[in-house]
Amino acid sequence: MLEGMSVELRFDGKVALVTGGSRGIGAETVRLFVQAGARVVFNYRAANDAAEALVAECGGTDRCRAIRQELGAAEEGRALVETATAAWGRLDALVVNHGVWPSHDAPIETMADAQWRSTMGINLDSVFGLLQAAVARFKQQDADADGRRGHVVLVASTAAQRGEAFHADYAASKGALISLTKSLSSELAGSGISANCVAPGWVATDMSAPALASEAGRAKIFGTIPMGRVGTPAEIAGPILFLCTPWAGFISGEILNVNGGAVLVG
């Protein structure tokens, strides 16, 4: 080891927007970006107390701000970017982390139209609006010393790549994010905007808690993961931050699997 030398993931002086940031993967991502020197804006839907506590934990509104904003349609995504950008007058990274996974099994022949439409609205339509507004903002800004104008990280899923029986709405919406990542990279890399995707598997969050609540449920899930356990939110937040740093400067259009090897054995 070279004495006196260290390697750090930093995002100093930049601004990140993290959707669904009040808990789980989103909250860990907010914490990590703040620790890396960024100012962070995040949205939440209903968890007001958790959002306020996270802002306080991250040093108050000089470093972190919470916005109550539903994300179920394109116009709501555009509105969030506008509000977030106004906080500090710029935007350097968009982390699309929010999403819904209906926990009950829904066979395709009986899945309600309302469930399909709701899942698509939250997991896909709002993402379209977020991307439209964020990319437009990135293109208005000067490139930094590394030639970057902005970073996009979409959070997809193992289900996006291998499907998920009885959860076709979720798998389809997350699969679309993978195609979006590839399309955005081809379109935007030449403009100094990177677009990448992190694909978690099972992670210990509130969203997955119902499925992990029983011993039988845990045994079934752990049996599909070569590492024999679910991930932690911090294990997803780290790769998200990495993709926004100069260490990932030559990466764009990548689908980074963070799922204990589960995607390879499905």
DSSP state of 263: G
Q: How many domains are contained in the chain?
A: 1
Whichever domain contains 60, its CATH number is 3.40.50.720
Helix-strand-coil split of the chain, %, nearest 5: 45, 15, 40
What is 83-96 written as a DSSP string? HHHHHHS---EEEE
In a domain, 5, yes or no: no
Query: What's the token pair of residue 66?
Result: 């919470």
The chain-wide mean pLDDT, for the chain, equals 93
- For the stretch 219-237, pLDDT in tens is 888 888 889 888 899 999 9
In a domain, 6, yes or no: no
pLDDT of residue 103: 81
Q: pTM of the entire structure? A: 0.93
In a domain, 4, yes or no: no
Per-residue pLDDT band for 18 (boundaries 50, 70, 90) equals very high
In a domain, 3, yes or no: no
In a domain, 258, yes or no: yes
Structural domain range at position 100: 15-264
In a domain, 249, yes or no: yes
**Residues noted as catalytic:** 170
In a domain, 243, yes or no: yes
CA atoms of 160 and 130, how far apart (whole Å):
20
Per-residue pLDDT band for 139 (boundaries 50, 70, 90) equals very high
Segment 144-149 shows an average pLDDT of: 91
Taking 70 as the threshold, does the pLDDT of residue 1 lie above it?
Answer: no
Q: Which residue has the higher pLDDT, 248 or 7?
A: 248
Share of the chain above pLDDT 90, in %: 78
In a domain, 10, yes or no: no
pLDDT of residue 4: 66
